[in-house]
Amino acid sequence: MNFKDNKGIYQQIADRICDEILLGQYPEEGRIPSVREYAALVEVNANTTMRSYDQLQSQGIIYNKRGIGYFVSPGAHRQILELRRQQFLKEELPSFFHQLRTLGISFDELGDMYQTYLDNIKNK
C-alpha cells in the first residue's frame, strides 16, 4: 500500500478498511482479516495494524470476538458514511468554500457544474 505523508499510517489503514466495508468487501457481521493477515497485506508492522483495529473498534465499526477474530459491526456502513460526512463538513468544506470565494466561482456556476456532473453519472 502506498502511504501519504499528511496522515498517520494507522489512520490510512483504518480508512482503507472503511472503504472496503463501504464497497461490500466485508459485510456487516462478516469477519475481517486478522491483524497479522492485514499487516502482511498492506506490508506494515502488526502493531500499526493493531492501532488501526483499536481505532475502528473504539468507533464501533468493528468488534472482537475473543479467540475468533474481528467482525464488522451491525450498522457500520451507515456509521462510516456519517463519520465521513461530518469529517467532510468540518474539515474539507470550509477550505472548499474559501477556494470558491478566492476564485470568484458563484453558487449558480457551482450548481450548474454539479448538475452536469450528476447528469453525466446518470448517463453512464
Domain limits of the chain?
Answer: 9-75, 77-122
Digit-coded pLDDT (tens) for 36-73: 999 999 999 999 999 999 999 999 999 999 999 999 99
Please state the rounded mean pLDDT for residues 83-104.
Answer: 94
DSSP assignment letter at 24: T
For residue 31, pLDDT over 90 is answered with yes
* Sequence-distant (≥ 6) Cβ neighbours of residue 50 within 8 angstroms: 35
Distance CA(32)–CA(38), nearest Å, equals: 9
Q: What is the mean pLDDT of the chain?
A: 94
Q: What is the pLDDT of residue 47?
A: 97
User: Read out DSSP for 38-93?
Assistant: HHHHHTS-HHHHHHHHHHHHHTTSEEEETTTEEEEPTTHHHHHHHHHHHHIIIIIH
Distance CA(90)–CA(96), nearest Å, equals: 11
Q: What is the pTM of this model?
A: 0.79
Q: Which CATH number is correct for 9-75, 3.40.50.1580, 2.60.120.260, 1.10.275.10, 1.10.10.10?
A: 1.10.10.10
Distance CA(74)–CA(66), nearest Å, equals: 17
**Number of residues in the chain:** 124
